[in-house]
């Protein structure tokens, strides 16, 4: 059996992204492929799927199959529910946490100039996009928030280094519209997986 075929089947069958270590666990002790062999096999698979509607995407949690984003508008018709539209306040709060982490709720409010709606923080936590990563050494020990691997996976990122730079985000209205489209595309793919 070709290594590529085993990896292809494993990534396709897995409920979550697979790391190289996860893939290595599929093999008997004396036949474990090297990290380089696995990465080469994944590259062969990527080339094999280049002309199709599917791709192997590397995200923070590992490798996964997904539909290429260009096909999302047509596939969105498969599901009756529309993906949620995120408010400007929601996106601003998420952006501040992503770019300034670790950050407290009070710091978010100071930067935005308005109180952070509890529903926004609850939604971000329930989606597992943010989590408490510590407490600031101030009276009351306010929670420090940071993003999670789930956040990175959802936005097809391997690390926070792949976020656009703040200079690239100067035109917020234009970027917000693009982000909303990306969120809708990814949400459609996410709902399909469930």
Domains, the chain, in order of start with CATH, read 3-67 (1.10.10.10), 88-193 (1.10.10.10)
Residues whose CB is less than 8 angstroms from the CB of residue 131 and which lie 6 or more positions away in sequence, other chains included: 125, 145, 146, 148
pLDDT at 144 over 70: yes
As a whole number of angstroms, the distance between CA 30 and CA 174 comes to 54
How would residue 191 be classed by pLDDT, with cut points 50, 70 and 90?
low
Q: Helices (DSSP H) in the chain: which residue ranges?
A: 3-13, 20-24, 35-49, 72-75, 88-100, 105-112, 118-126, 149-154, 172-193
Supply the mean pLDDT for the chain. 86
How would residue 1 be classed by pLDDT, with cut points 50, 70 and 90?
low
């Amino acid at each position: 059996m070709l290594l590529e075929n085993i990896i292809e089947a494993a990534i396709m069958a897995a409920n979550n992204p697979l790391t190289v270590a996860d893939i290595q666990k599929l093999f008997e002790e004396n036949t474990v492929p090297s990290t380089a062999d696995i990465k080469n096999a994944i590259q062969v698979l990527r080339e094999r799927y280049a002309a199709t509607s599917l791709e192997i995407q590397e995200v923070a949690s590992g490798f996964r199959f997904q539909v290429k984003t260009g096909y999302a508008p047509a596939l969105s018709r498969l599901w009756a529910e529309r993906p949620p539209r995120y408010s400007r306040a929601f996106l601003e709060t998420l952006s501040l946490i992503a770019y300034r982490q670790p950050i407290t709720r009070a710091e978010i409010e100071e930067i935005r100039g308005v109180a952070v709606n509890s529903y926004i923080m609850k939604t971000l936590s329930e989606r597992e996009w943010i989590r408490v990563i510590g407490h600031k050494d101030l009276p009351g020990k306010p929670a420090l928030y940071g993003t999670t691997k789930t956040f990175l996976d959802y936005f097809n990122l391997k690390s926070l280094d792949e976020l656009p730079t703040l200079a690239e985000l100067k035109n917020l209205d234009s970027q917000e519209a693009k982000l909303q489209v990306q969120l809708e595309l990814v949400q459609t793919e996410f709902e399909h997986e469930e």
